[in-house]
Amino acid sequence: MNKKQPTDEGFAFAVAEDNGKDVVIEVSEAEYRRERAAGIEDDASLKPGRYRLRRGGFQARHSQKPEERKRA
């Protein structure tokens, strides 16, 4: 069996818009097919289309002051 292995290059995508706070990425059909051909499972890859993401969103939703953080 000659099964293709996933690459270590990571996912490549095009940044369509970036205003510093929000970013929109575009995944083309060709990029999607390349990821699938490299062995990335369907549920682990982004489908073709546009995706709007917010920079720093995790910190905005989980903001804590340094003195409020618990030490392990």
What are 1-45's pLDDT values in tens digits? 334 344 455 666 778 888 988 999 999 999 899 888 988 888 888
The verdict on residue 3 lying in a domain is no
Q: How many CB atoms lie within 10 A of CB 32?
A: 19
The more confident residue out of 14 and 51 is 51
The verdict on residue 47 lying in a domain is yes
The verdict on residue 6 lying in a domain is no
Q: 39: domain range?
A: 14-68
Rg value, the chain, Cα: 17
Report the pLDDT value the prediction gives residue 1, as an integer from 0 to 100.
36
Report the pLDDT value the prediction gives residue 6, as an integer from 0 to 100.
45
The verdict on residue 9 lying in a domain is no
Query: In total, how many domains does the chain have?
Result: 1
The verdict on residue 55 lying in a domain is yes
The verdict on residue 2 lying in a domain is no
Report the pLDDT value the prediction gives residue 8, as an integer from 0 to 100.
52
The verdict on residue 26 lying in a domain is yes
**pLDDT tier, 69 (very low <50, low <70, confident <90, very high otherwise):** low
The verdict on residue 37 lying in a domain is yes
How far, rounded to the nearest angstrom, does the alpha carbon of residue 4 sit from its chain's CA centroid?
A: 22
Distance CA 4, CA 71 (A): 44
